[in-house]
Amino acid sequence: KLGVNCQYQPPDKSIITKDLMNMTKALEDLSGTEFLNHKMMDNDKMIAAMKFLRLLNFYAFFSKQEHLFFIINQMMNLTLTYGLCRESCTALANLSFILCEFGDFKASEHIGQLAMVLLKKFKAQECLPQVYLAIFSGVQSWTKIPRRCLEPILHGYEVAMQTGDVHHAMTCAYTYGMSSFVVGQSLA
């Protein structure tokens, strides 16, 4: 009904990975300003699809990780085809997170920065916890001093609680606790 074709069984991961890498290459040369000049999404069905895929992405992360690449690929395709919307920042942040799996930290960091620029432009507080989780437990924890990632993850928890997003609040709290333990911060 939303005009987005989602298969029960996602296509082979190698096909989706190739698509994601092609998107990454297309985004690598764009500055934040150039990216913000991309058209805005104005199709209500596509915006609704992005909202649905954003939620689906969270649940797939914990239960059906084989669907993550497909969901993020769908969100990125909608963003690049129909334009930017509030949920596009989560697609970018999750793409940034995935790129860490392939060791492409330079591209991951750049796409993470695009996600942050978009988050700021839309003032999308409801997306902040998901974006911060993906970026600060992803590329930032690999390329920066991990201890510096704790405060943004804690901020993600606070914003999630303020916006009523208990799922992401608890995920931020868990990530904060685990990351604190890993970097040797006192848990007392």
- What residues contact residue 110 under an 8 Å CB cut-off, 6+ apart? 27, 28
| Residues in CB range of 95: below 8 A, 6 or more apart | 20, 23, 24, 72, 76, 111
Q: Which two tokens stand for residue 52?
A: 């649905």
Model pLDDT, residue 62: 83
Per-residue pLDDT of the chain (188 residues; tens, 9 = 90+): 556 666 556 667 788 888 888 888 888 888 888 888 999 999 999 999 999 999 999 888 888 777 888 899 999 999 999 999 999 999 999 999 999 988 899 999 999 999 999 999 999 999 999 999 999 998 888 888 888 999 999 999 999 999 999 999 999 999 999 999 988 887 76
pTM: 0.89
Helix (H, G, I), strand (E, B) or coil at 11: coil
**Residue ranges with strand state E in the chain:** none
Sign, CA dihedral 84-86-90-96, equals positive
Reduce the secondary structure of 63-80 to three states and give it as a string.
HCHHHHHHHHHHHHHHHH
